[in-house]
Amino acid sequence: MNKIHPQAGIATEARSVDHPTREEAEAAVRTLLRWAGDDPDREGLRDTPARVARAYRDWFRGYREDPVEMLARTFEEVEGYDEMVVLRDIRYESYCEHHLAPIIGVAHVGYIPTDRVVGISKLARVVDAFAKRLQVQEKMTAQIANTLSEVLRPRGVAVVIEGEHHCMSTRGVHKPGVSMVTSTMLGEFRDDPRTRKEFMDIIGNPTNRMR
């Protein structure tokens, strides 16, 4: 087992912000309830500001998590294994940074190791660490792929993300059931069409599954 030292300059930390107090957060929720047209002092809503504040701590816990540290411990005893490692259908829940509406879907992550591998649960944790932030799906896809590439230094990384955006399905054009698919291919997955096709065949090409 090997402890690796992440390279400097990997942009995985959230930007530092002036953190409000719990009381300020709850007061903001009360304001939004009034803006929606309801009375935050009625019985059914009296405890809602506190519940929402607690929910935000869970929904956006990714700001307090370090994806680089999650990948710090790797394993070298792989008997020379040098083919791709793929984790597919990693369910995630995120929130659109434009409307705070949910983005719910699955991520597929693959990499081709050099001389070490990482525990598969860490791949899912990295997905969650980025998903549990206000996001744009394209950005989240690149963040996951770039972090895996820069920390693990594999021969290649592939990330495909599918997501239903509730800012589109529950408001605006109201088109439920529409999935957005984004991908980032690095190293051999970008340079070798056969490697990319093998990965897409393993995960089940999303464009075919949506038909």
Query: How much is the pLDDT for 80?
Result: 79
pLDDT of residue 202 exceeding 60: yes
Domain assignment present for residue 208? The answer is no
Q: Domain span at residue 29? A: 1-59
Question: What pLDDT, in 10s, does the model give residues 109-138?
Answer: 999 999 889 999 999 999 999 999 999 999
Q: Are 102 and 143 members of one domain?
A: yes
Respond yes or no: is residue 198 known to be catalytic. no
Domain assignment present for residue 192? The answer is yes
Instruction: Say how many domains are in the chain.
Output: 2
Which of the residues 26, 65, 96, 162 is marked catalytic? 96
Query: What would the two tokens of residue 26 be?
Result: 């709850």
Of all residues in the chain, what percent carry a pLDDT higher than 70? 89
pLDDT of residue 186 exceeding 80: yes
Domain assignment present for residue 209? The answer is no
Q: Give the residue-averaged pLDDT of 30-58.
A: 97
Query: How much is the pLDDT for 208?
Result: 54
Q: Are 47 and 9 members of one domain?
A: yes
Of all residues in the chain, what percent carry a pLDDT higher than 90? 83
Respond yes or no: is residue 13 known to be catalytic. no
Q: Are 55 and 78 members of one domain?
A: no
Q: Give the residue-averaged pLDDT of 158-168.
A: 96
Kindly report the CA angle at 10 between 148 and 131, in degrees rounded to 5?
Answer: 60
Least confident of 4-8, 114-118, 170-174: 4-8
Domain assignment present for residue 69? The answer is no
Q: Give the residue-averaged pLDDT of 90-105.
A: 97
Q: Are 90 and 171 members of one domain?
A: yes
Q: Are 162 and 180 in contact (CB under 8 A)?
A: yes
Domain assignment present for residue 11? The answer is yes
Residue 192, helix vs strand vs coil: coil
Q: Are 120 and 185 members of one domain?
A: yes
- Cα(105)–Cα(145) distance, rounded to whole angstroms? 17
CATH of the domain at 24: 1.10.286.10
Q: Are 121 and 159 in contact (CB under 8 A)?
A: no
Which of the residues 26, 137, 143, 162 is marked catalytic? 137
Query: How much is the pLDDT for 189?
Result: 98
Pairing mode, strands 85-96 and 134-135 = parallel
Does 96 count as an annotated binding residue?
A: yes
Respond yes or no: is residue 150 known to be catalytic. no
Respond yes or no: is residue 167 known to be catalytic. yes
Respond yes or no: is residue 98 known to be catalytic. yes
CATH of the domain at 191: 3.30.1130.10
Does 166 count as an annotated binding residue?
A: no
Q: Are 137 and 103 in contact (CB under 8 A)?
A: yes
Q: Are 83 and 134 members of one domain?
A: yes
Respond yes or no: is residue 137 known to be catalytic. yes
Q: Are 105 and 177 members of one domain?
A: yes
- List, in sequence order, every beta strand (DSSP E) within the chain: 2-3, 73-75, 85-96, 102-112, 117-118, 134-135, 156-165, 180-187
pLDDT of residue 184 exceeding 90: yes
Domain assignment present for residue 4? The answer is yes
Q: Are 87 and 151 members of one domain?
A: yes
Residue 42, helix vs strand vs coil: coil
Q: Are 88 and 156 members of one domain?
A: yes
pLDDT of residue 15 exceeding 90: no
Domain assignment present for residue 34? The answer is yes
pTM of the entire predicted model:
0.88
Query: How much is the pLDDT for 77?
Result: 78
Work out the angle between the directed axes of helices 137-152 and 120-131 (0-180°, nearest 10): 140
Domain assignment present for residue 128? The answer is yes
Rg (CA), the chain: 20
Query: How much is the pLDDT for 209?
Result: 53
Q: Are 173 and 115 members of one domain?
A: yes
Q: Are 96 and 167 members of one domain?
A: yes
